[in-house]
Structure 1
């Protein structure tokens, strides 16, 4: 019996991954260096500490990593926090459905909690979530299960009784390892066969999930 729902944020609720990719690749160009779209995709789902480490490994050793990240984050912040990020298809209708049914809902995002709060407030989605867990609140990043286990703990339910919505490989592995049932919503990442078998279902967006799996109204 499902008792709660847990959403990833970027790429599931908010259409921010493409913006993040565009800004990061532009920042590499500004520093006269290169990063591919595929290399960006490998970062999706990781927390800030792990992303910093991987960027440091990628960049020329002479590059000031703090300055680089500030340029990238300032532009990304402008487009997704100072200004409301685009909301993914079907998000509001599905969240309204869960609200009417009084089903507890959480966010488990690799984004740090303060920034995640601002993103969700700006898009007027924050009111739908009883719990928000950021990547800076757990010791191990996705694909470790920590963030989903913490979301379940704060919701006061067992992880096995939760349904998670994820777009990234790391996120699918994280939620599955926590014991949750997983729905994959493709964004920029294609799952491998190993991650596909971890999913209860793969649907193009949350609107399709609501129509086909909730009868447009409920989880039944």
Structure 2
């Protein structure tokens, strides 16, 4: 039974919110681009924030060869899966997660592909805990477009304006806010001054309570 509070659902980003994998994504992206002759550091890739790798790839190359992009993505995710075996959640995630698990519909909206999200959830022992997963390969437009969050809300049967989104990235916050949701940003990937468009900023999800979350909707 779900609580009849101000928020009707909780939508989580994954990379940088549930697990500390953002730098691994940047490193993997740099490796893949290097194989195509483009020398770029993971620090430079960080400027592209949480956008899907296939969108970033198209920024650097004129190639429209989808098969080539898919091959690079397959290699990227094989590498990521090998590097994330035994991964544990970011400190603080479980503290908030267990407050909402079983009380609200839950979803993950990630720029990562769905199979990688499922891999991570299996590694942390929560593969059956989310009602909906929307991966970057399940939307036509990735973050900062709101499509992913709008799709998750629709699949959950709730209004996006009644959703709480947990994010860590600039593009993720933009995506959440464009969907109409309330957004809490956690400073795992970026410093607070980069996340000011969020409705609430916390250093750790340990500091987030249901009461604080509900208070965002009482405006």
State the TM-score, normalizing by the size of structure 2.
0.80
Give 1:61's aligned residue.
none
State the secondary structure of the residue aligned to 1:126.
Answer: coil
CA distance in 2, matches of 1:31, 1:156: 43
8 Å contact kept, 1:95–1:128: no
Q: Is the 8 A contact 1:16 1:85 kept in 2?
A: no
> How much has 1:46 moved relative to structure 2?
1.4
- What do residues 158-203 of structure 1 show as CA deviations (whole Å, max 9, x unaligned)? 000011011111110000000000111123334766x51x311111
Are 1:54 and 2:30 counterparts? no
Equivalence for 2:48: 43
Distance of 1:32 and 1:96 partners within structure 2? 45
SS of alignment partner, residue 44 of structure 1: coil
After superposition, the C-alpha distances for 1:20-76 in whole angstroms (9 at most, x for unaligned) are: 23344455667775213332113332124313323536xxxxxx7666555543322
Does the Cα contact within 8 Å between 1:48 and 1:135 map onto a contact in 2? Answer: no
Kept in 2: contact 1:169–1:191 (CA 8 A): no
RMSD: 2.8
Aligned 8 A contact 2:77 2:116 in 1: no
Query: Which residue pairs with 1:206 in the alignment?
Result: 205
CA distance in 1, matches of 2:40, 2:190: 17
**Unaligned runs of at least 5 residues, structure 1:** 58-63
Alignment CA distance shift 1:72-1:55 (3 Å): farther
What's the CA shift for 1:129?
Answer: 1.1
TM-score, reference length from structure 1: 0.80
Indicate the residue corresponding to 1:60 in structure 2. Answer: none
Q: Distance in 1 between matches of 2:72 and 2:39?
A: 13
4+ residue runs of structure 1 moved beyond 4 angstroms? 26-33, 64-71, 190-193
Task: Supply the distance in 2 between the matched residues of 1:26 and 1:114 (Cα, whole angstroms).
Answer: 21
Structure 1 residues 56 and 78: alpha-carbon distance in aligned structure 2, compared to 1, 3 A threshold: farther
CA distance change for structure 1 residues 76 and 124 in 2, over 3 Å: closer, same or farther?
A: same
SS for the counterpart of 1:202 is strand
Contact 1:8 1:108 in 2 (8 A): yes
Distance 2:131 2:28 in 1: 31
Q: Which residue of 1 aligns with 2:94?
A: 92
* Alpha-carbon spacing, 1:49–1:31, altered in 2? closer, same or farther (3 Å): closer
- Structure 1 partner of 2:65: none
- Per-residue Cα deviation, 1:80-129 (whole angstroms, up to 9, x for no partner): 2xx133311111121111125x1111111111212211221222122321
Q: Contact 2:108–2:132 (CA<8 Å) still a contact in 1?
A: yes
